[in-house]
Structure 1
């Protein structure tokens, strides 16, 4: 949101090459573990803008592809029967880079990186986006309550794969005092000539937390250099205001 509300954009603000991470998934485990896994830890990417960790599950800004970014994966499996994190076993502890400098193509593309360790195999799915801008998504309840489950996704039409911003998995959404819905991710990147498609699927919950009404809707917004787009979603007696703030890079 660095340039969202600036009347006159500086000369160094422009679309740029960025990375979008779609998912990080544990696909195989050793005999030391059993499904389902209770995993904790973090996955982060460092780029050359400030070399700080940009955590994938709560990113604060776009991942820039000026130089080679570095992934950092530190995942542990909760040891059953112990309350101490010191007893947890390391599932994956690794670093790897993406050599974006070698890619000279003009089109965005996706790839999957497979990281194998002693106890598990982890897949990381991401995209190299050409000439893209940053979109920050916010959701706020303006009427009613958060007594509904929701799944919110974002799709850049030039790639066609979804980024999951929120998935409550049948539970009610988490709402702050000001009505803001807590998203698991809120920053995505979109090619400057593409659309951002937000898809939401929600189910109203009854007194016993059983779903009663399902509503689905999609919002399409063309990428912008700045300013905002908005839309409204209604589920039962509740209204959800969705806001997209656009910004150039860096």
Structure 2
């Protein structure tokens, strides 16, 4: 196993690892007057959003400062702060680099494994109906690359036994050329909207190191909860976009299903592509399986393993998996089967763009 885990501000854990300290530079705000205003007594409402936060929470103040700074620096070039990234996956699957631009190379990317609500204040008993967003922003366009998104009308109920958010992203690889910022904006639904509470409003910054792939954990406490973000730094990586289509048979009746992916560089960290427990197989009329997540970062020298599992009553279980060697471009296909259900897994490989990407005319 080739894995290291970096705990928040403490050490690297691994057979060949030596302890090291991780320092995170404080986020910069706009002007001193703005900071003073944010720290005034009472609750504040973030500009152009309905997110009301407690300004005695330093994490929330820092997150609000980050928003104001982003708007001041990037609005003129990248649009609204609320804009979602327009860069699609698979951008260089078939295309070559544009003339005059830097050569396409594997690069460091981030793979998000989980977002967990570690603990909550006594005023917030389990279970919790959670809504809001977790997003990543990288240098390619500084816009939101959504990791988790639920509206108030479509909350996720989390429990003390299973406090993990059901992730749906990223929609494309998260590129580490300059610092990457994760934003967490989560609320708990009350009986009426006026009773909704912000349980986490914060920003996590990652600067990058780029020597070898490893797993990192970031713990962020706030007044009402503590969030644990677990993600991997994948060095010299390419982007893999996964799709699955049923080509024969049908999913076994009443069986729970799980589609997962792992990479050989971090081989004990599972990426959940789809998990359904009610036997209701999410598939379109033309057989396309509606994966919750489909973009994975893979070391160019490594492999991607895509697996499917069907579990029925009385411990009846079917499993299948296929191994894909990482490629710089093109598609690779393989068949997997559970029971009578035969599916074709397609992996589209793409190199990643450099910081000149946004002006290359290739964005969606």
Q: Pick the TM interval, shorter chain.
A: 0.7 to 0.9
Partner of 1:228: 331
| Distance in 2 separating the partners of 1:198 and 1:136 | 11
- Aligned with 1:38: secondary structure? strand
Whether 2:358 is the aligned partner of 1:241: answer no
Of 226, 233, 241, the match for 1:121:
226
Task: Tell me the equivalent position of 2:263.
Answer: 156
Structure 2 gap ranges (5+): 1-89, 148-167, 354-364
Q: Could you state the TM-score of these two structures normalised by the residue count of structure 1?
A: 0.88
The answer to whether the 8 A contact 1:203-1:235 is kept is no
Q: Answer whether contact 2:321 2:336 (CA < 8 A) is retained.
A: no
Counterpart in the other structure of 2:182: 71
Other-structure match for 2:142: 51
Q: Which has the higher contact order (CA 8 A, sep 6+)?
A: 1
Secondary structure of the residue aligned to 2:304 is strand
Which is richer in strand?
Answer: 1
Distance 1:227 1:174 in 2: 27
Q: Deviations over 1:150-172 (max 9, x none)?
A: 11111111122111111113432
Closer/same/farther in 2, CA of residues 17 and 188 from structure 1, 3 Å limit: same
Structure (1 or 2) with the larger CA radius of gyration:
2
Give the 4+ runs in structure 1 shifted more than 3 A.
Answer: 8-11, 84-87, 144-148, 210-213
Note the alpha carbon deviations across 1:97-143, whole angstroms, 9 max, x for none: 1122xx2x521121100011111111001111111000001111222
2:94 equivalent in structure 1:
5
Instruction: Give TM-score scaled by structure 2 length.
Output: 0.61
| 1:76/1:92 contact within 8 Å kept | yes
> How far 1:9 sits from its partner (Å)?
5.4
Partner of 1:143: 248
